[in-house]
Amino acid sequence: MKTCLSCTGAMALVSFALAAPASASPTFNMEGVTPGYYAGSLVVNDGPLTLTVTPEGNPSGFVDAANPGVALLGSVALLGSDTNPVASGYTPLRFSFNQAINSITFNFGDAGGDDDGTAEIRAYSVAGGVTTYLGNSEFFYGTSSAGASLTLNFAGADFFVARSFGTSNENTLYWDIGAITPAAGSPGGTVPEPPAWALMLAGFAGLGWPLRFARSKRTTRAPAAC
């Protein structure tokens, strides 16, 4: 049995092209945020991603950007507050992006203390002016000064609401964003790299050449002797 080296090479090239890595935004960096209180909202840009953080249900509230002293959260994490400076009124935070998100991980911690309770993230989508609740992820924490994480996988989520329920103080956790995957086709989303597209096109072209060559040989073959 003869082996078509051209065919084999073309198939290998196509397989390699299809397996080429895709680009993604594995993390969202908030470390450049200047610590302080932001009235109404805080806008953070990281490459093609834009994040707007607001106190959920409290337009007159503040977003407190600070270093809570929790290693998992880095040097900047966010807390929702009713006042400036923060006193005893805390609020959930809404994290809205400029594009759809397929999966996201939030890191959180309480900077010490012992506010036993549940941390919760809810995911929502918005289409035609209608907001749809997609689902949530919860984590029961004791003293979460060491930090913990919550991950959500809901294709096409537009915003997330982070809150905590404690036995003494609610919504006193600081929040940070870890891994994030924007939806395919959106800015920063998971799409093939340019070299992958080139390999795929070359592979398909290589696959077609031996087929045309074989067809040409069948067409020009001499007729059998009578």
Q: Please give the pLDDT value at position 201.
A: 45
Residue 146's pLDDT is 72
Q: Which sequence spans correspond to the domains of the chain?
A: 24-182
Mean pLDDT, each 10-residue run in order, the chain (226 residues) = 44 34 63 95 93 94 93 93 86 96 93 74 95 94 77 94 86 92 65 41 48 49 50
What separation in angstroms does the CA of 190 have from each of 21, 25, 70, 86, 117?
A: 10, 8, 31, 39, 36
Hey, what CATH class is 24-182 in?
mainly beta
Cis amide linkage into residue 21, ω under 30° from 0: no
What is the predicted pLDDT for the residue at 137? 95
Buried b (16+ CB within 10 A) or exposed e, 130-157: eeeebeebebebeebbebbebebebebb
User: In which element (H, E) is residue 136 found?
Assistant: strand 130-141
Please tell me the predicted confidence (pLDDT) of residue 184: 76
pLDDT in the model for residue 88: 77
Would you state the pLDDT for residue 185?
59
